[in-house]
């Protein structure tokens, strides 16, 4: 009886320890309506093209061939999943980059842009990433 209980408890602990709960991040919110404004999305697009496309863009946007060797790979944000992504997560990920877990131990090469972008610029990038998959010709 004791061994069944011990095995059950061990199994439960293993499941909890191995579950992918995702990273913990601050629940910040953009200013009201910020993500929906076309001018903010366009500013995010401009920043993306200038500073992010080398790793996250399509080949036609200037994606570097070295980005093909990143592991884990850098997403190009055209998946519809990014339309539903928590804006707070995208904001946090842009600002912290590879300096936080689980990305640090997984070998991410994403720089932390918190010192390089203002909060408004970061929210503009988030605004653009959320509509990027809807844009037919970037």
Our count of domains for the chain comes to: 1
14 falls within a domain: no
Measured between alpha carbons, how far is 114 from 116 in angstroms, rounded to an integer?
Answer: 6
28 falls within a domain: yes
Segment 18-64, tens digit of pLDDT: 445 678 999 999 999 999 999 999 999 999 999 999 999 999 999 99
13 falls within a domain: no
Per-residue confidence at 11, pLDDT binned at 50, 70, 90?
A: very low
96 falls within a domain: yes
35 falls within a domain: yes
CATH code, domain with 38? 1.10.760.10
Q: How far is CA 24 from CA 49, 55, 95, in A?
A: 28, 24, 14
Q: What are phi and psi of 44, to 5 degrees?
A: -65, -40
Q: DSSP assignment, residue 5?
A: H
Q: DSSP assignment, residue 43?
A: H
Measured between alpha carbons, how far is 133 from 138 in angstroms, rounded to an integer?
Answer: 10
Rounding to the nearest 10 degrees, give the CA dihedral for residues 79, 127, 92, 114.
Answer: 120
| pTM tops 0.75, yes or no | yes
Structure tokens at 7: 């095995």
1 falls within a domain: no
6 falls within a domain: no
Residue 96, domain extent: 22-132
């Amino acid at each position: 009886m004791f061994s069944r209980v011990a095995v059950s408890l061990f199994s439960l602990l293993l499941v909890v320890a191995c579950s992918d709960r995702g990273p913990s991040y601050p629940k910040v919110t953009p200013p009201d309506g910020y993500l929906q404004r076309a001018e903010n999305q366009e500013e995010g697009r401009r920043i993306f093209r200038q500073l992010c496309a080398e790793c996250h863009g399509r080949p036609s946007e200037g994606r570097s061939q070295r980005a093909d060797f990143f592991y884990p790979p850098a997403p190009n944000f055209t998946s519809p999943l990014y339309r539903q992504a928590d804006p707070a997560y995208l904001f946090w990920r842009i600002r912290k980059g590879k300096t936080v877990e689980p990305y640090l131990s997984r070998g991410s090469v994403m720089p932390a842009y918190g010192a390089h972008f203002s909060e408004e610029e970061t929210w503009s990038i988030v605004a653009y990433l959320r509509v990027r998959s809807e844009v037919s010709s970037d």
